[in-house]
């Protein structure tokens, strides 16, 4: 069965059984020629389904996400686990977070998902928001207006977890336990050790050469060298503050809507394949250290955090939330997480040529990590070292 035939058999009935009228008659698929793109962990196809209804044509645009098929890439990046998580979260976890109608403001509409051993059939079908005026932001680093819109929406999303924990705690916890670990599984522990230790050393080397922060750096590197324990200590859920985190909350996985003056006024999130239940600081710190500059944080860190917290508290206002001081403590204790992830990923994004994940997947763990920490050149080293400086100046490293 072809992919389109598969979708006609399974997707079309689910659409007609949802918010769209049941008398829709499927006519054809229309491709967005030239807009097929290969994402870091999936193939993304833009397509439109054309229906006939009462002698009128109705068009519904979709984004289809398929798995990459190369076994080495899938095994290295844990794409099978990621794909399971994404479908499972859309179908079993997000429906528990529906209070106040907020969820439909945060994510595009989810139409259909399929995850099985038949990789070629696996698909996630989402609403294509481009026809509603949404688009990706330009550039890796976001300005204040983009950050404010994104963090306000993140606060609203995180608030839904506190609501769900009141009367759906048992089933929420049960379903969260079914998520698969896809970032720090044991079988890639050696690669992660090489990657994060080398990336951390790259970030701190400029300071060691000047004899700065020597004691702090020593303690920090000691922690990172115990890589699995380092990350799982940061990711361990602690109540009552933990929430369902996006898990990969960054500019790559959000899409903005703009007004006539090109100012962002709305945002939606996608790509929840690495979501996890953890501290809200996991999402916040990764966003700050990947998509904002040192100068932006210096000028607006407190402002942006207050925007996040105001949205958190105003969403489901009758639900008890952590205090602002609680959130600040989480950020102080766990922002090193976002720094560590961005220390390898920021250079990847800054590299002059696109990263070939297939080529990397066929290298040994040591050679793969060595290749990755060379990405981005001196500019990347400068930026991740400024991120480290930010951590130290804010007292986030002890």
How high is the mean pLDDT in each 10-residue block of the chain (398 residues)? 78 71 82 49 81 87 91 96 98 92 94 92 93 94 98 98 95 98 96 98 98 98 98 97 98 96 97 98 99 98 99 97 98 98 98 93 97 96 98 95
Which residues, 6+ apart, have CB-to-CB distance to 390 below 8 Å?
289, 294, 297, 298
For residue 64, being part of any structural domain is answered with no
CATH of the domain at 217: 3.90.1200
Provide the 10 A C-beta neighbour count for residue 278. 22
For residue 199, being part of any structural domain is answered with yes
Give the domain range for residue 285.
69-123+137-393
Q: What's the confidence (pLDDT) of residue 12?
A: 82
Q: What's the confidence (pLDDT) of residue 37?
A: 40
| Cα gap 169→242, rounded to integer Å | 12
For residue 198, being part of any structural domain is answered with yes
For residue 87, being part of any structural domain is answered with yes
Provide the 10 A C-beta neighbour count for residue 117. 7
For residue 24, being part of any structural domain is answered with no
What are the structure tokens assigned to 337, written together?
Answer: 């997480």
Give the helix/strand (H/E) hosting 331: helix 324-350
Q: What's the confidence (pLDDT) of residue 99?
A: 78
Q: What's the confidence (pLDDT) of residue 53?
A: 84
Strand order in the sheet with 254-258: 134-135, 254-258, 264-269
Q: What's the confidence (pLDDT) of residue 18?
A: 59
What are the structure tokens assigned to 296, written together?
Answer: 């932006």
Q: Please state the φ and ψ torsions of residue 364, each to the nearest 5 degrees.
A: -70, 160
SS3 content of the chain, % helix, strand, coil (to 5): 55, 15, 30
Q: Using the Cα atoms of residue 104, residue 247, residue 150 and residue 195 in order, give the sign of their dihedral.
A: negative
Q: What's the confidence (pLDDT) of residue 318?
A: 95
**Domain count within the chain:** 1
For residue 361, being part of any structural domain is answered with yes
For residue 238, being part of any structural domain is answered with yes
Task: Report pTM.
Answer: 0.94
Going by C-alpha positions, the residue among 142, 205, 139, 193 that lies closest to residue 378 is 205
| Cα gap 132→266, rounded to integer Å | 11
Provide the 10 A C-beta neighbour count for residue 224. 20
Which is it for strands 243-245 and 276-278: parallel, antiparallel or unpaired? antiparallel
| Cα gap 286→279, rounded to integer Å | 12
For residue 171, being part of any structural domain is answered with yes
């Amino acid at each position: 069965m072809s992919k389109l035939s598969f979708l006609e058999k399974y997707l079309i009935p689910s659409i007609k059984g949802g918010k769209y009228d049941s008398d829709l008659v499927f006519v054809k698929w229309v491709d967005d020629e030239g807009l097929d793109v290969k994402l870091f962990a999936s193939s993304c196809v833009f397509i439109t389904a054309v229906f006939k209804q009462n002698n009128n044509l109705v068009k519904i645009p979709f984004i289809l996400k398929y798995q990459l098929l190369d076994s080495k890439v899938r095994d290295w990046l844990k794409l099978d686990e990621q794909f399971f998580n994404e479908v499972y979260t859309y179908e079993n976890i997000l429906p528990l977070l529906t209070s106040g109608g907020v969820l439909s403001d945060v994510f595009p509409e989810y139409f259909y998902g399929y995850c099985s051993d038949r990789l070629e059939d696996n698909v996630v079908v989402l609403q294509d928001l481009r026809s509603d005026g949404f688009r990706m932001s330009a550039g890796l680093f976001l300005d204040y207006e983009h950050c404010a819109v994104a963090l306000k929406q993140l606060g609203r999303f995180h608030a839904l977890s506190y609501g769900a924990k009141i009367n759906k705690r048992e089933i929420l916890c049960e379903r969260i336990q079914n998520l698969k670990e896809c970032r720090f599984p044991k079988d890639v522990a050696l690669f992660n050790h090489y990657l994060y230790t080398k990336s951390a050393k790259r970030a701190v080397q400029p300071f060691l050469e000047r004899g700065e922060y020597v004691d702090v750096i020593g303690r920090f590197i000691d922690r990172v060298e115990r890589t699995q324990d380092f990350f799982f200590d940061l990711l361990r859920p602690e109540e009552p503050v933990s929430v369902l985190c996006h898990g990969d909350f960054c500019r790559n996985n959000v899409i903005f809507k703009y007004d006539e003056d090109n100012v962002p006024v709305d945002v939606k999130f996608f790509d929840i394949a690495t979501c996890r239940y953890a501290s809200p600081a996991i999402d916040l710190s990764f966003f700050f250290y990947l998509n904002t500059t040192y100068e932006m944080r210096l000028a607006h860190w407190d402002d942006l955090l207050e925007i996040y917290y105001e949205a958190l508290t105003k969403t489901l206002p009758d639900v008890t939330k952590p205090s602002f001081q609680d959130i600040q403590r989480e950020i102080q204790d766990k922002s090193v997480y976002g720094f560590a992830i961005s220390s390898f990923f920021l250079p990847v994004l800054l590299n002059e040529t696109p990263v070939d994940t297939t080529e990397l997947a066929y290298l040994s763990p040591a050679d793969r990590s060595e290749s990755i920490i060379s990405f981005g050149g001196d500019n990347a080293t400068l930026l991740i070292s400024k991120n480290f400086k930010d951590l130290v100046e804010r007292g986030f490293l002890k």
